[in-house]
């Protein structure tokens, strides 16, 4: 009987560890996704502010209109 209780405790501990690991993975993935989003936003702003981007934008608009 004691062996069954010990097994139940071990299984319960394993379940807790798995759930904790899942939570940590979700937190880490969310943080990294957020960082990549802001990196993309910052890059887009920097590129769109570039004079080179402005010339390319005018050129592509001109090509589409013709």
- The tens digit of pLDDT for each residue in 42-66 reads 988 888 787 776 666 665 555 555 5
Q: What is the pTM of this model?
A: 0.59
Contacts of 53 (CB under 8 A, 6+ apart): 47
Instruction: Give, in order, the Cα–Cα distances in Å from 21 to each of 27, 32, 35, 40, 49.
Output: 10, 16, 21, 28, 42
Q: What's the pLDDT at 9?
A: 92
In the block, tokens 């005018």 appear at 58
pLDDT digits (tens, 9 = 90+) for 12-32: 999 999 999 999 999 999 999
Tell me how far the alpha carbon of residue 6 is from its chain's centroid. 39
Contacts of 47 (CB under 8 A, 6+ apart): 53
Q: Do 32 and 25 form a contact (C-beta atoms < 8 A)?
A: no
């Amino acid at each position: 009987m004691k062996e069954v209780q010990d097994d139940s405790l071990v299984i319960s501990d394993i379940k807790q560890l798995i759930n904790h690991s899942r939570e940590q993975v979700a937190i880490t993935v969310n943080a990294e996704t957020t960082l990549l989003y802001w990196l993309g936003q910052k890059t887009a702003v920097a590129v769109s502010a570039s004079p080179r981007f402005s010339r390319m934008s005018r050129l592509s608009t001109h090509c589409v209109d013709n």
